[in-house]
Amino acid sequence: MEFLGKYKAVYKAKAGCEDILSKAQDGGIVTAMFAYALEAGIIDGAIVAGPGKEPYKPEPMIATTVEELFAARGTKYSISPNMSLIKEATRSYGLDKVGIVGTPCQIQAVRKAQLYPIGLRDVPDKIALVLGIFCMENFPYQGLYQMVEDHCATKIDNVTKMDIGKGKFSVYTERGINAQIPLKVTHKYEQPGCHVCLDYVANLADVSTGSVGTPDGWSTVFVRSATGEATFNKAVEAGWIVAESMDGVKPGLELVTKLATEKITKNQKYLEHRKHAEHAALKPLRNPYI
């Protein structure tokens, strides 16, 4: 499983509590994990993509209670620079054990910061739980806005949920599913930076999760590190998470592997292209797999 990174176990899982599931994107794993970790004292605050000033424009926030955590449920398909708060969390917020959720690139940044803590004095040892989410690509807010307002002809203020799945970008309002557009249409709105990324399932996180591979309402969970394993198992024991084996689940790991391979080979091609590009700004990036 070259493109899925190293993992100790993989599960089909969802949150054990209806409150989380009601507004969660899929299985509510990130909210449930952080909520459990907060209650159990494994972390004393988590950096999450909170609601911003404009609808579906996420802003990083530090949640120190389960209520604050609940405000950040659900995916917002735009950029939330969670790493920008990692230092502040240990400073004016006074946290000793910080949890952070992020896309694969953000998780790479977390690990890099732990390895070379330049400008992050006394931060690395305070990062207690790192949750990664699967990510194919991300959209700048203006791009997302245009997709919703123009292509889907929906006022973004009325949107209750956005979802990407089965090759479609879907927009839900209170009246139910309002519009669906093929993913192909959205490609031009992607961040260019996403095209050099060679990580689909947050290989460096303690636990990474995403909807791909499991039925609706469930999430696929990769448990990767010892910390991640301990926390996840305890969360399952405590009933915050319901976990089942991935065996026989359709579409299962096959689909995860397929999408990961798709993303990475596509981006590798783009990297290859950049290698021969004349513009200096397009120089190739380091391959995280070596």
Length of the chain: 290
First vs last C-alpha separation in the chain: 15
Q: Which of 122, 237, 244, 272 binds other proteins (CB under 8 A)?
A: 122
With CA atoms as reference, report the closest residue to 97 among 37, 48, 31: 37
For residue 171, the SS3 value is: strand
188 binds other proteins (CB under 8 A): no
Closer to other proteins at the Cβ: 60 or 104? Answer: 60
125 binds other proteins (CB under 8 A): no
In this structure, what token pair is assigned to residue 109? 């940044």
95 binds other proteins (CB under 8 A): yes
Q: Which of 19, 66, 93, 172 binds other proteins (CB under 8 A)?
A: 93
Considering only residues 9-48, where is the footprint of other proteins by CB under 8 A?
Answer: 44
Closest approach of Cβ 96 to other proteins, in Å? 8
Q: Which of 8, 54, 81, 91 binds other proteins (CB under 8 A)?
A: 91
Contact pattern for other proteins over residues 47 through 86, marking x by CB under 8 A: -----------------x----------------------
121 binds other proteins (CB under 8 A): yes
Closest approach of Cβ 52 to other proteins, in Å? 18
Beta partners for 172?
161, 177
**φ/ψ of residue 117, rounded to 5:** -80, 60
Q: Which of 25, 75, 80, 90 binds other proteins (CB under 8 A)?
A: 90
| Long-range CB contact pairs, 138-142, < 8 A, 24+ | 138/77, 138/78, 138/79, 138/103, 138/190, 138/191, 138/194, 139/77, 139/78, 139/79, 139/186, 139/189, 139/190, 139/191, 140/78, 140/79, 140/189, 140/191, 141/54, 141/56, 141/57, 141/78, 141/79
Closer to other proteins at the Cβ: 69 or 259? Answer: 69
94 binds other proteins (CB under 8 A): yes
* Residue bearing tokens 């006022």: 155
For helices 226-237 and 29-40, angle between their N-to-C axes, nearest 10 degrees:
90
Q: Which of 2, 41, 92, 167 binds other proteins (CB under 8 A)?
A: 92
270 binds other proteins (CB under 8 A): no
Task: Using the rule CB under 8 A, give the single segment among 48-56, 90-98, 191-199, 271-279 that binds other proteins.
Answer: 90-98
Kindly list the residues in this chain that would bind other proteins in the complex (CB under 8 A): 44, 64, 87-88, 90-95, 121-122
